Structure 1
Amino acid sequence: MYALTSAHTVSAQTAEPKPSEKAPIETGEITVTATRVVRDGYKAPTPTSVIGAVEIANKAPANIADLVNQIPSMFGSATPLNAVAGVSGGQSGINTLNLRNLGPNRTLVLLDGQRIAASTLTGWVDVNNLPQALVKRVDVVTGGASAGWGSDAVAGVVNFVLDKDFTGLKGEVSGGLTTYGDNGDYKVSLTWGSGFAGGRGHILLSAEDAHSNGITGVPRSWARTAKLLGTNPAYAAGNGQPQFLTTFTGFATATPGGIITSGPAKGTYFGAGGIPLRYNYGTVSGNFMQGGQNDAYDFASQAGDLAPRLDRKNIFFRTSFDLSDHVQIFGQASYGQAHSDENALAFAGFNFFTINPVTNAFLPASVAAAAGTTPFTLGSYNQDYGSVIALTRRSTRRFVAGLNGDFNALGSNWSWDAYGQTTTNDIYVESYQFNLANLKAAVDAVRNPTTGAIQCASVATNPNCVPYNVFGIGVNSPAALAYVAGRPWGRTKLTQDVFAANLHGTPFSDWAGPISMAAGIEHRREAVSGSNDPLSNTNGWRSGNQHATSGSYQVTEGYLELVVPLLKDQFLGKSMDLNGAVRQTDYSLSGAVTTWKAGLTYSPIDDITFRITRSRDIRAPNLSDLFAVGATATSGGLFDTVTGTNAGPRVLTVTSGTTNLKPEVANSLNLGVVVRPRFLPGFEASVDYYRIDINNSIFTTSTQQIIDQCAQGSSQACAAIIRDGSGAITQVNVVPINLAKQLNRGIDFEASYRRHLSVAPFIDGTLTIRGLATHFLQNLINNGITTPTDNVGTNSDGVGGVVMQSLPRWKYQASINWDQGPLSLGFTLRGVSDGVLNTSYISCASACPTATPAHPTIDDNHIPGAIYFDSNFKYTVSKRLEVFAVVQNLLNTDPVATAYGPSVGSNPLAISPNLYDVLGRTFRFGVRFKM
């Protein structure tokens, strides 16, 4: 199918053409899965965008998820580039799809109409596991679709349609790298299909091997321009100064070899070989400063990898056999694995160590004398130790077996299908971490009173202890590093078992035509089990503590969908169709929920169609919401608003699921118009307004929010905070709740034009133009705890110590393609609009209003948008061979480095890969063959 055919004017899902029938040409109406009802000529009331085989071939993505995520309505998806710095979630290297920025777990992903099992505990589906060489089309159904397709389709449905009838042998060999010579990758795929038993059977086999080298560290010049959002030292309530400045660009309480942050020796830092040096402070704000040595230890040098190393392998097998002219049996089996490795983040700790200057044997005598007898704090990036290394190993096994067929009844032909499906996802995560008990013992280093040798103070009870030197770079032995190091690990097994049956037909007719229907049932079971290293059970690692999760639930669903024609070729108009669906879903843990959809399409003339859809959709609590047990550690990245001091030095956030959750409920409205003027053949356009109102949204309060709520007098929040004897916060407990509300509104635009041009012998081909844009109007989130926030126009992923998802006001894409004989040339423009750091901030340089917690003031809240240009080239050498080349980010446009703060963890490089290209100009070349 030609991708440039506007999906907003396509027909609903129809039966596959019989061998004697001519398949529809790609320039006309095509078949999409906007609805389960099978009915030729139905104009779907729910907007649907299509990526077809030609666009997939022309743009030649390394992963098909990269192409799908360029659709403007798709935003906030997890990708290998924005899932870095994660240690324990098992999400490194994953590729998900996120419609409307409502979360990947609110976008239902299907393969030939069948639900794909989640690849993570949080319900995210990894597109890496799909047989990408067999995908002939991707249908993106925006808007609520739970009644027709099932729960979790709050934002919409993405259905990957396979070429199940492929015959022959085809393959691809391709590779790419950036203009900087890094992130080299390759992809090799081979697909074979053949009929057997005189054409009654068909067999398919497809395999793919892909690899990406990743990018170690952040070797880009733009990374050195990162800024931090710091408190203005000159600010006082009512003095007209902005509360925050975006110019604090260095660390005041951590260096690679350690810096003393308290006491008489404050400002002494340690360089190579442990040499003590005097730190040149600038203007200090908390952990950060402006001026001085702020450029000596830039953010990029302390960040993790720009891109992870990733290997993935997939194999897919399918066979089908016609038992009779009306019954077919089929079976599918697939296996996929993905391995990713990355330096996730530096071992940063602001004020992390407490040192006794009297007893510590590694402390230089001159510094010990200056420090006196009072213990001091020391912050460090622990360069000797290196980065936190995160490894993720993921494998997927999926088996499907079923029957489909047709029969005649009630004067019409009916089609049906029934299948069983089982999927197992195994996830293994491992990281390289500090063992806290060993670290504490090793840092407490003293001299042996007899020999003078340096040893651990606890040597009498801990003879294996090896002392660890926190003062300097290159000062520790391999034995010392090995003693304080360790590898926490965790295994998670996700299983999904599904049985489903569907029936489609046209049992009746009214005055305007046949009434079509679809009905079906589905039962599925979701389960999780796991194991972990023993030390994680006591949260004994600095971070990456793995906790085994176990639990299961079951879902039984039944649905009915109808399409009723109300008007056909009358004086009131050309056509009018009513589409309605209802689904009853029964959850074993949270009870029954009813979802529904009502849609109407009306064409007063052939040139224009109006459409409206109202729906009630749901998302059920996933396995993480219900059963998760986890812990993450933050070092110096939180502020204790109760005491007015930095929280830490180490705060543990313990998250647990709860079975008290109920399904989220969303009420959606879609209003649109489709135009296909007869006076301009080949042109079609659509405009669609959407509104998604989610109630009882499942929400997990952030650690900082709980602390802030305690400061405002919430006894429930204070009860979740655990403090040590000195009053310092050591742990915060969080549990998901059905509390939040979210209102998401916007407008989708799409237009395409396709025409054959014959201007001269050397200009005789087909021109195709397509443009898509989404104008995000509102994404108002009210969690019932903090001030409601609308993040539309936010071009940053996190400020104020709270992670936010960026969401620009505009995301757009326009492409032009020229096809002439064996040659195909294309050019694409894509981009996002300007935005702000935080929509709740008030931007002012002077005469500022008094800052409030809900509306802080800032000197510069503006963040520029970005425009990128891509090109693609394809040449068909012969019927069996073609070569292609793709260049992304032709102008090598740098991303915008945004400010992050005023509190920050260990990975402070504040760039949003959702908005900006962080790799730079990327080249991709390859060949395809077909026999």
Structure 2
Amino acid sequence: MNTSSFLRYLLHGSAIGLILTVTPAAHAQSDKKTKTDKAEEAVEEVVVTGTRIRLRGAQSATPTSVITSDTIQKNSPRQIADLVNQLPALVISQSDQTSNTNRDKDSMDQSHPGLNALDLRGLGTKRTLVLVNGRRHVPGAPGSSAVDISTIPSSLVERVEVITGGASALYGADAVAGVANFILRKNFEGIDSNIRYGNSARNDMPSYDVDLLWGKNFAEGKGNFTLFGYYGKSDGTVGGQDRPWTATGNPWWGRLGSGPTAVNYIIDGRRNLGYSPRAQVLLGRKVYTFNDDGTMRAPILGPSGILKNTYDLSRPESVANLETDGGEYGGRYDNWLLSVPNDRFIAHGTLNYELTSNLRYFLEMDYATNKSHGEYGMWWEGASNWLYEGNPFITQEMIAANGGSLPYVAFARNFPEIGKSSSYYQRDLSQIVTGFDGNLPALFAGHDWNWSAYYSYGKTEERTQDRNAVSNERYMRALDAVSGPGGKPVCGVNADADPTNNDPNCVPLNPFKPLTQDVIRYLTFNPSESVSTLEQQVVSAYATGGLFTLPAGEVQAVIGGEYRKEKNFIGAVAEYNPEDPAYVPDYGVVQNPLRGEYDVKEIFGELSVPILADLPFAYKLSVDAAVRASDYSTAGKTTSWKYGLQYAPVRDLRLRATYGKAVRAPNISEVFTASSISGQWLYDPCNYYMTYRTETTKDTLANCAALHPANKNSYWLWTEVEKKGNPDLEVETAKTLTVGLVAQPRFMKNFTMSVDYYDIDLSNVIAAVEPQTIINKCVDAPMQNNPYCNLVVREAGTNNLLRVVKQNINLAKRTNRGVDVEVDYFTDLSSWGWGSDSGRVSLNMVFTRLKENKITPDPDNPQSVTSTLGIFGFPKWKGVTRLSYQRGPLWMSWSARYFSPMRMNTTINPENYFPYRTKSIMYHDFNAWYDLKKNVAVGVGLSNVFDTAPPRYPGAEAGGAYFGDEGWQSGVFDVIGRTGFVSIKFKR
């Protein structure tokens, strides 16, 4: 096969979408070179951080992907995470499109709108270690170990190196899944500035970014001082009602037949009656709504009326679960932000000075502030509530509609009069890193050594305030009205309530009319802000160099040590803290401040041994090893290690493998989180509606028959949720394996392909499970020795749900296996006979085939295994293809991001669901830059060029969403649609 035929084959592969984008070192280097740069190209190399040993290019046994400055600058992402997350090894986690999550004020875990974090292999942000210039960076929010990537401006990044195997022994805990190392520009001289404007195609997401880099050499070139400043703002608030795929009702499952052979199909455009701004009631098997004066009328339903497969019309409390396909009802995601606004300022400075030819001093200073807020929709969405006989707001009209008797009435509605609840965040990060590096005299004859040592101090402060919050306790109290003197409605005491809950300030609530301002003032509150801080100190040093020389080359080693100390203070809102004089019990939240700290002492070492070289069938053979011993003040002593092997039988082909053990100790928030109690609307999977659950297993019926809760006819239950840390947590342990090959055939100049198999077995997993999931997993599996059942408290005698404990526990096992493939090729078109000045074409493809992703909570119960392969976020195939062209001052790039079909959750199967998964989807992006003159360039770009909508599949229309007590999240599918930018760069 000749070169042009091979290129056509690769292009065809990209067109059908099996392969997809991020540019490695060779590609990015090629993008910025023209024909006149070939002499420089021959000698230029990139140092990668697959090891601290100073190897060149692709010589590390550890798979490493590199995104260079040229790729970053020309794609011009607002957030560097947007580009890094295109690597198929990463799973979308916290970003502007996923962080509009309900502030979890019931515990010390918060959603942190506006924070960007990386999640390698989908194992969690706390298992992905982020470094800046090879050194630890302070986490982005108190109570979190994740670094906020949004504080690293893309225009300052020289390159990003992503290591996806065997990294824990090299760089420390948190690197179970791998490492992302952001190398920043330094020793810069001159001025480099950029102005960028972006917006959506619907003109509702304007963004503005400006940055300036200035650098100056001094002392005859021995020193350099560099300053960088950035300001960016995105103030658009795009809600679910602003996009057709979320505003027109959601798709959900319908059912034909009953029992295990029932066929589930998708009914689109479904709208829940509980999301109505007017009360909905079910009386005499008919649905009614209300006029503003409190009189009843028939609702305006969609063309199909009440969807017959929703819920039983004979039960009044079912009204909150009834659905229609249009009419006067809004969409499921109305008033929820699809992307959070943000306001960021970043300053960065470096000082480098060569004290002697063998000694250099460096200083790095960072400051970043980030303001953002989340909005969580109207209150009360979806749930049904009750008024009991004798309530003065139950009218004769309602009683007559129910046949003359009405012991209680259940209603559902939200309350747009109250407005949206929101939480405002401001995070301020500061860090200073100072140290020395240099050359050592030959410790071993003829072998050079280098060393580096630094001290780092970082602090993150977060201020958070809830606004327009609603007290559920006051709401329930206001609903419980009775007739007072003169027949005037007054707040009463429900027979099941504590009489001490009487409140002289209570204002009775009539749910069948628009709320009055007196009621709104009684229900809502704006508590004071909480202030939380995190401090991190690191002292680290290492030396690297040669030990001796073998026939195949130099044996090299690294030895080093590190000390790290972290302190967290998570402040409680004064009105939520029982120990504060400002505490308000009926806000319904109990929150205690958290103080916790730990320190760890580590020593580490690496060794690289070349065994064979330049022999028949042994062009290169080498082995390497790394070990790290740690002593945690909380978790005790741990050891992680790694072995690596590289074998090149011929110059064109190199085999590589790594095998290692990674250890992660529990972090501060996992161990020390103070206990807090609040309530949450949950359902008992043993209630009357159990048969509608898609997750029901063969164990569910038997377990529910044994439990037999008394309130099985109630769907939503206001249940206590206790959240706390767990001082008994043990360390996580992972065994990681990578095996791969790298091909660089000489007969195909400028072509590189790598294929790597990875296998991660994580045991003793530390995780917190959502309250509803805890309840479900308790009854959906054998209950004996079920770890989830220990977290569910039921009332003695009735077995009604009483409390759910949400805390981190050591689950049993998690496995993640797959194959990474990367192909890179570039060529001058002149080699195809297109003329001497026809430009250069580059093609890069990166994709991952996920083979297995399983969680096994209970090792003694094989049935407890959950496979997430093929569900939202974990497609079997994922990747990007990028094709770029450069000729003179013009550079253009077209990329295609591909996701194979996915399904909603693990219980969706092809036997009972049609369609049981989405179709495959591909997003196209275009970028172009043109050099107007030597120092001025303009760029334009479009993301999601064809405005591709999310699939019409349950949950996918909101980006592949799920619901927990953190709220709605999206990110698998694009929910914003086409966006674009224009930018201009100046250099001097």
Q: Tell me if both proteins adopt one fold, taking TM over 0.5 as the criterion.
A: yes
Q: Which residue of 2 aligns with 1:278?
A: 298
Q: Work out whether residues 770 and 964 of structure 2, in 8 Å CA contact, stay in contact via their aligned partners in 1.
A: no
Opposite residue 838 of structure 2, the aligned amino acid is: D
Matches of 2:483 and 2:67, distance apart in 1: 69
Match for residue 754 of structure 1 among 826, 841, 862: 826
The Cα of 1:395 is off from its aligned counterpart by 1.5
Opposite residue 501 of structure 1, the aligned amino acid is: A
Query: 2:971 is paired with a residue of what secondary structure?
Result: coil
Opposite residue 120 of structure 2, the aligned amino acid is: L
Matches of 1:471 and 1:565, distance apart in 2: 80
Query: 1:532 is paired with a residue of what secondary structure?
Result: coil
Q: Which residue of 1 aligns with 2:222?
A: 200
Q: Work out whether residues 28 and 71 of structure 2, in 8 Å CA contact, stay in contact via their aligned partners in 1.
A: no
Q: Aligned pair 1:596/2:596, yes or no?
A: no
Matches of 1:545 and 1:423, distance apart in 2: 30
Q: Work out whether residues 72 and 774 of structure 1, in 8 Å CA contact, stay in contact via their aligned partners in 2.
A: yes
Structure 1 pair 163–710 and aligned structure 2 pair: CA distance change class (3 A): closer
Structure 1 pair 651–874 and aligned structure 2 pair: CA distance change class (3 A): same
Q: Which residue of 1 aligns with 2:918?
A: 863
The Cα of 1:510 is off from its aligned counterpart by 1.6
Q: Which residue of 2 aligns with 1:70?
A: 86
Opposite residue 741 of structure 1, the aligned amino acid is: K
Match for residue 639 of structure 1 among 685, 699, 706: 685
Aligned residues: 888
Q: Aligned pair 1:331/2:363, yes or no?
A: yes
Q: Which residue of 2 aligns with 1:848?
A: none
Query: 2:519 is paired with a residue of what secondary structure?
Result: helix
Matches of 2:479 and 2:248, distance apart in 1: 35
Q: 1:669-684 counterparts in 2 under 5 A?
A: 669-684=737-752
Matches of 1:367 and 1:455, distance apart in 2: 20
Structure 1 pair 486–600 and aligned structure 2 pair: CA distance change class (3 A): same
Opposite residue 788 of structure 1, the aligned amino acid is: V
The Cα of 1:126 is off from its aligned counterpart by 0.8
Q: Which residue of 2 aligns with 1:776?
A: 850
Query: 1:306 is paired with a residue of what secondary structure?
Result: strand
Q: Which residue of 2 aligns with 1:13?
A: none
Q: Aligned pair 1:93/2:114, yes or no?
A: yes
Q: Work out whether residues 472 and 588 of structure 2, in 8 Å CA contact, stay in contact via their aligned partners in 1.
A: no
Q: 1:845-856 counterparts in 2 under 5 A?
A: none
Q: Aligned pair 1:834/2:880, yes or no?
A: no
Which ranges in structure 2 are unaligned for 5 or more consecutive residues?
Answer: 1-20, 30-37, 105-109, 300-304, 312-317, 494-499, 579-583, 688-703
Q: 1:266-415 counterparts in 2 under 5 A?
A: 267-272=287-292, 274-279=294-299, 281-286=306-311, 292=324, 296-302=328-334, 304-360=336-392, 362-367=393-398, 370=401, 372=405, 374-409=407-442, 410-411=444-445, 412-415=447-450
Structure 1 pair 392–464 and aligned structure 2 pair: CA distance change class (3 A): same
Q: Which residue of 1 aligns with 2:792?
A: 721
Matches of 2:25 and 2:789, distance apart in 1: 54
Structure 1 pair 821–327 and aligned structure 2 pair: CA distance change class (3 A): same
Match for residue 941 of structure 2 among 880, 886, 889: 886
Q: Aligned pair 1:704/2:747, yes or no?
A: no
Q: Work out whether residues 793 and 836 of structure 1, in 8 Å CA contact, stay in contact via their aligned partners in 2.
A: yes
Opposite residue 508 of structure 1, the aligned amino acid is: F
Match for residue 718 of structure 2 among 646, 650, 654: 650
Query: 2:377 is paired with a residue of what secondary structure?
Result: strand
The range that moved more, 440-449 or 107-116, is 440-449
Structure 1 pair 639–259 and aligned structure 2 pair: CA distance change class (3 A): farther
Opposite residue 32 of structure 1, the aligned amino acid is: V
Q: Aligned pair 1:928/2:985, yes or no?
A: yes
Matches of 1:568 and 1:600, distance apart in 2: 14
Q: 1:47-86 counterparts in 2 under 5 A?
A: 47-86=63-102
The Cα of 1:247 is off from its aligned counterpart by 6.0
The Cα of 1:543 is off from its aligned counterpart by 8.1
The Cα of 1:83 is off from its aligned counterpart by 1.9
Opposite residue 329 of structure 2, the aligned amino acid is: Y
Structure 1 pair 328–638 and aligned structure 2 pair: CA distance change class (3 A): farther
Structure 1 pair 816–720 and aligned structure 2 pair: CA distance change class (3 A): closer
Matches of 1:593 and 1:507, distance apart in 2: 28
Matches of 1:271 and 1:429, distance apart in 2: 39
Q: Aligned pair 1:789/2:866, yes or no?
A: yes
Q: Work out whether residues 101 and 111 of structure 2, in 8 Å CA contact, stay in contact via their aligned partners in 1.
A: no
Q: Which residue of 1 aligns with 2:453?
A: 418
Match for residue 145 of structure 1 among 156, 167, 176: 167
Q: Work out whether residues 233 and 285 of structure 1, in 8 Å CA contact, stay in contact via their aligned partners in 2.
A: no
Q: Which residue of 1 aligns with 2:691?
A: none
The Cα of 1:667 is off from its aligned counterpart by 0.7
Match for residue 767 of structure 1 among 841, 845, 850: 841
Matches of 1:460 and 1:5, distance apart in 2: 64
Q: Which residue of 2 aligns with 1:128?
A: 150
Q: Work out whether residues 889 and 921 of structure 1, in 8 Å CA contact, stay in contact via their aligned partners in 2.
A: yes
Q: Work out whether residues 121 and 177 of structure 2, in 8 Å CA contact, stay in contact via their aligned partners in 1.
A: yes
The Cα of 1:466 is off from its aligned counterpart by 3.4
The Cα of 1:544 is off from its aligned counterpart by 7.6
Which ranges in structure 1 are unaligned for 5 or more consecutive residues?
Answer: 11-21, 796-805, 845-856
Matches of 2:978 and 2:589, distance apart in 1: 34
Q: Which residue of 2 aligns with 1:850?
A: none
* Deviations, residues 226-274 of structure 1 (Å, cap 9, x unaligned): 545557474135xx3237866693325553222235x659733335454
Q: Which residue of 2 aligns with 1:18?
A: none
Q: Aligned pair 1:32/2:53, yes or no?
A: no
Match for residue 486 of structure 1 among 525, 541, 550: 525
* Deviations, residues 758-779 of structure 1 (Å, cap 9, x unaligned): 3556952121111111111110
Structure 1 pair 638–69 and aligned structure 2 pair: CA distance change class (3 A): farther
Matches of 2:949 and 2:148, distance apart in 1: 28
Structure 1 pair 332–131 and aligned structure 2 pair: CA distance change class (3 A): farther
TM-score (normalised: structure 1): 0.89
Matches of 1:646 and 1:8, distance apart in 2: 60
Q: Which residue of 1 aligns with 2:552?
A: 512
The Cα of 1:503 is off from its aligned counterpart by 0.8
Matches of 2:284 and 2:505, distance apart in 1: 34
The Cα of 1:734 is off from its aligned counterpart by 2.4
Structure 1 pair 909–501 and aligned structure 2 pair: CA distance change class (3 A): closer
The range that moved more, 919-928 or 215-224, is 215-224
Match for residue 557 of structure 1 among 599, 602, 619: 602
Opposite residue 89 of structure 2, the aligned amino acid is: S
Opposite residue 615 of structure 2, the aligned amino acid is: Q
Q: Which residue of 1 aligns with 2:874?
A: 807
Q: Aligned pair 1:439/2:506, yes or no?
A: no
Matches of 2:161 and 2:587, distance apart in 1: 44
Q: Aligned pair 1:174/2:214, yes or no?
A: no
Q: Which residue of 2 aligns with 1:109?
A: 130
Q: Work out whether residues 231 and 243 of structure 1, in 8 Å CA contact, stay in contact via their aligned partners in 2.
A: yes
TM-score (normalised: structure 2): 0.84
Structure 1 pair 135–25 and aligned structure 2 pair: CA distance change class (3 A): farther
Opposite residue 937 of structure 2, the aligned amino acid is: E
Query: 2:145 is paired with a residue of what secondary structure?
Result: coil
Query: 1:366 is paired with a residue of what secondary structure?
Result: helix
* Deviations, residues 342-365 of structure 1 (Å, cap 9, x unaligned): 3223323545433135233x4555
Matches of 2:809 and 2:727, distance apart in 1: 10
Q: Work out whether residues 780 and 790 of structure 1, in 8 Å CA contact, stay in contact via their aligned partners in 2.
A: yes
Opposite residue 635 of structure 1, the aligned amino acid is: W
Structure 1 pair 254–210 and aligned structure 2 pair: CA distance change class (3 A): closer
